[in-house]
Amino acid sequence: MPTTAVVTGAGRGIGLAFARRLAQEGHRVIVTDVDGDAAERAAVEIGGGAVGLQQDVRDIASHRRVAEEAAALGRLSVWVNNAGVLFAGDAWDYSDEQIATILDVNVRGVMAGSAAAVSQMRTTGGGVVLNIASLSALAPVPGLSLYAATKAAVLSYTTSLEGDLRHAGLPIRARALCPDVVNTQMVTSRATDPGAAMLFAGPKPLDEEAVVRAGMELMDSRQVFRVLPRWRGVISRAGDLTPSVGLELIGAMRKIGRRRQTGT
């Protein structure tokens, strides 16, 4: 029986890059996106029988429907929860709609997708769930407090899910990838946004292919989560030992990022 893979938020960016790679690995890919037209275009580009579906990941039941669609095409073996949104600004300035949206997409969408994937995989021989978190899950990110909080939730959920899967003896792996800033439209669109200065404070952004390579390796490894690049994770963790010093350093980085945004 052919294997299938689901990638959410795959109409462009990292999701599309994952979908391409999974198709190259021999999976029949289900591409989902809130923009149904983008999902269909991506599926045509990928080829190999890929299917594009409109999906709003905030709809919990939609994940079960996607899982059923994937199972109808083959044995569901990979599910990548990639869909996400980002808002920038001071922690007290987010609107009610922004708070609800980012929690529903970045957290509820990942949890619902993971649950739907596990429910399907446990009856058909197992598989792997990859959740796209972020380096921001590991340290304070002024200006991106909501985004960082949701990614910390994704990381915590994934490690707990892995524990549940092991306890149950299920042949399913849960993994979380925590990349640094990636050169995607979600980031470049914030080039002049003061609240997003931290996105532009570090080294050169990662390219999508580097993220995909790391994600593919992680799915096949015993490691539960991985930071990309690894050295950034070490620095982020070091800040936990001296929070006051870490926050001062992060404040300085935010200023650097803002100068890069303004070219001053």
Report the relative pairing of strands 28-33 and 51-54 from DSSP bridges.
parallel
The encoded tokens of residue 193 equal 């946004």
Buried b (16+ CB within 10 A) or exposed e, 152-165: bbbbebbeebbeeb
> Hey, what amino acid is at 175?
R
The span from the CA of 196 to the CA of 158, in Å, is: 26
Q: Along the 264 residues of the chain, how does pLDDT read in single tens digits? A: 799 999 999 999 999 999 999 999 999 999 999 999 999 999 999 999 999 999 999 999 999 999 999 999 999 999 999 999 999 999 999 999 999 999 999 999 999 999 999 999 999 999 999 999 999 999 888 899 999 999 999 999 999 999 999 999 999 999 999 998 876 677 666 666 666 655 666 667 789 999 999 999 999 999 999 999 765 555 555 555 556 656 666 666 666 566 677 776
pLDDT in tens, 181-209: 876 677 666 666 666 655 666 667 789 99
Residues assigned a catalytic role: 147
